[in-house]
Amino acid sequence: MASNSNLITKKHHPENLESPCAALDSYLTPNELFYIRNHFEAPRIDVKFWRLTVSGAVQRARDFTYDDLLAMPSRRIVATLECAGNARAFLGGSTPGIDWHLGAVGNAEWRGVPLSLVLAEVGFQHDAQEVVLQGADAGAIDKEPKTPGSIPFARSLPLAKALHDDVLLAYSMNGRELPEAHGFPVRAIVPGWYGMASVKWLIHLLICREPFAGYFQTFEYSHWERIEGNPTLAPLGPGEVKTEIVRPSSNERLKAGDVYLIRGSSWAGESHVASVSVSVDGGRCWNSAELLDPPQPYCWVRWQYPWNIPADVPSATLMARATDENGRVQPLEHAPEERHYSVHHVLPVTVHIE
C-alpha cells in the first residue's frame, strides 16, 4: 500500500497516519487526507474471490459477494470517525498506544447497505445477542497480555446498535470506491461510535449467543464503568462531546490589535453539537462561537470566534468547549476511568502576543 505524503506518519509498520490539523477545517475530509489506523498489516484482497460470510445464531447462514451487496438497497450517511486514542499525546507521561495529536479524526460521506438488511436476509435465532464484525487482517500481539497466536481484528456490536438503520456495510467514501487503506471492498460504519467499531476489510459477521470479549474490547478499547461504585471494565462504544481548536496552533505568534478568527471543529458521538463556547482568558469568561455548519447527529460542526487580540498581555490561553443536544458538556480534566482513551477534555492553546 503506497504511503501517503499528505498525512503525518505516527508508525510505519503497520501504517498509522494522522491528518494535518488543517484538514479539520474542511467539512468533508478528502479521502487523501483521512487518517489511517491499522493494528496489523493491511490485507491484500482480490474482490473476485472476496466473500462476506454470515454465520452463528442465524436461521440461514450464507455468503454475500461484492455484487450481492451492490445490488441491495443502499443508504448514505455523513459521519465523523474518530479514533478513541485521538489526542492521547496531550495526556503526557508514558501512556501506552500511538501518540496521536489532533488528527486521528475525519468526516466523510459513506454509502453502503444497512447491516440490518443483511441480518434480515439470514434471520436470527431467538437467543442471538451480538454481532461480531471480523476483518481480513490478523496478527499476534507479542507484548503482554499476549494473544494465543494470530488473531483477526474483530469487534462486536450489541443487537440494538447492529439493527439501527444508520449502521452500514460501506463500499463508498465521499462518492468514490472505498480506498484500500480504508477497508476495500467493504467496511462497517458505526456512526457515533469511536472508530474501532467500524471494522475494515470485513469478511465475517458472526452472530453470538453471549457477549464477545475479544482483545480489542477488553485489553484494548475498553474503559471503567461503575456498578454500585465498583469499577468494571466495559467495551468503548459511543463517542463523547469533543472540540479541537484548528487555528491558531499552540505557541503561534499573533499581532496585538489584530482581529483574529479562532476556528475549530466539535462533535458529539451519536448526538449533535448544540453550542460551542470560547474563552480567550484561560477559562474565566466564555463567549458563544458562531456555528458554520448545520448541527446533525454523528457529524462535526465547524465554528469560529472573532478575537480582538489585546495589546496589554504577552500571551493568552484559548479554550473551546461544546455542549450537545442532551446537555452534555466537555470536562476540564481527563477522567482516569477513560484510561488512555476518549481524550475529550478541554485542550488549552497558548499563543504569544507581540
Is the previous residue joined to 185 through a cis bond, with omega within 30 degrees of 0? yes
- Which stretch in 37-45, 119-127, 248-256, 284-292 sits in contact with ligand MTE by CB under 6 A? 37-45
Minimum CB separation from Mo ion for residue 68, in Å? Answer: 29
Taking the complex as a whole, how short is the minimal distance between the CB of residue 225 and ligand MTE, in angstroms? 20
Q: Which residue has the cell 495529536?
A: 101
Q: Which is nearer to ligand MTE, 81 or 262 (CB)?
A: 81
**Burial degree of 133 (CB within 10 A; 0-12, 13-18, 19+):** buried
The piece of 158-166, 190-198, 231-239, 285-293 that touches ligand MTE (CB under 6 A) is 190-198
Q: Among the candidate windows 123-131, 194-202, 269-277, 300-308, which touches ligand MTE by CB under 6 A?
A: 194-202
Q: Is 17 in the site for Mo ion (CB under 5 A)?
A: no
CB of 27 to ligand MTE, least distance (A): 17
CA 146/CA 142 separation, integer angstroms: 5
Distance CA 76, CA 150 (A): 35
How many residues sit close enough to ligand MTE to count as binding (CB under 6 A)?
Answer: 18
Distance in angstroms (rounded) separating the CA atoms of residues 106 and 21: 10
**Span near ligand MTE by CB under 6 A; candidates 3-11, 115-123, 192-200, 321-329:** 192-200
State the amino acid at position 120 in one-letter form: A
Per CB under 6 A, does 80 bind ligand MTE? no
- The runs of H, that is alpha helices, within the chain are 66-70, 115-122, 159-162
- Of 236 and 322, nearer to Mo ion (C-beta) is 236
Closest approach, Cβ 241 to ligand MTE, in A, equals: 18
**Among 161, 38, 56, 168, CA closest to 98:** 38
Q: Site residues for ligand MTE, window 220-249 (CB under 6 A)?
A: none
Choose which of 7, 54, 83, 276 interacts with Mo ion (CB under 5 A): 83
Quick check: 39 and 141 in contact, CB under 8 A? no
Q: What are phi and psi of 284, to 5 degrees?
A: -75, -50
Residues 270-299 that bind ligand MTE (CB under 6 A): none
CB neighbours of residue 281 within 10 Å: 13
Check residue 39 for interaction with ligand MTE (CB under 6 A).
yes
* Whole-number CA gyration radius for the chain: 21
- Contact between 196 and Mo ion per CB under 5 A: yes
Closest among 83, 117, 118, 75 to 206, alpha carbons compared: 118
Stretch that binds ligand MTE, among 30-38, 56-64, 238-246, 250-258 (CB under 6 A): 30-38
User: Rule CB under 5 A: is residue 181 a binding residue for Mo ion?
Assistant: no
Using CB under 6 A as the binding rule, whether residue 268 contacts ligand MTE is answered as: no
Query: CB under 5 to 8 A by kind: which of Mo ion, ligand MTE, none does 345 bind?
Result: none
Give residues 149-168 in contact with ligand MTE (rule: CB under 6 A): 153
37 belongs to the binding site for ligand MTE (CB under 6 A): yes
What the block records as the C-alpha cell of 120 is 434480515
Q: Are 186 and 107 in contact (CB under 8 A)?
A: no
Among 10, 111, 182, 339, binds ligand MTE (CB under 6 A): 182
Q: Where are the strands (E) in 213-258, listed by range?
A: 222-227, 230-235, 242-247, 253-254
Secondary element (H or E) of residue 153: strand 151-158
- Of the pair 33, 196, the CB lying nearest Mo ion is at 196
Task: Please list the residues that pair with 238 across neighbouring strands.
Answer: 193
- 158 burial (CB, 10 Å; 0-12 / 13-18 / 19+) is middle
Candidates 56, 191, 195, 264: give the one binding Mo ion (CB under 5 A). Answer: 195
Q: Counting contacts by CB under 5 A, is residue 37 touching Mo ion?
A: yes
Residues that bind ligand MTE (CB under 6 A): 34-39, 81, 83, 135, 137, 153, 182, 195-196, 198-201
Residues that bind Mo ion (CB under 5 A): 37, 83, 195-196
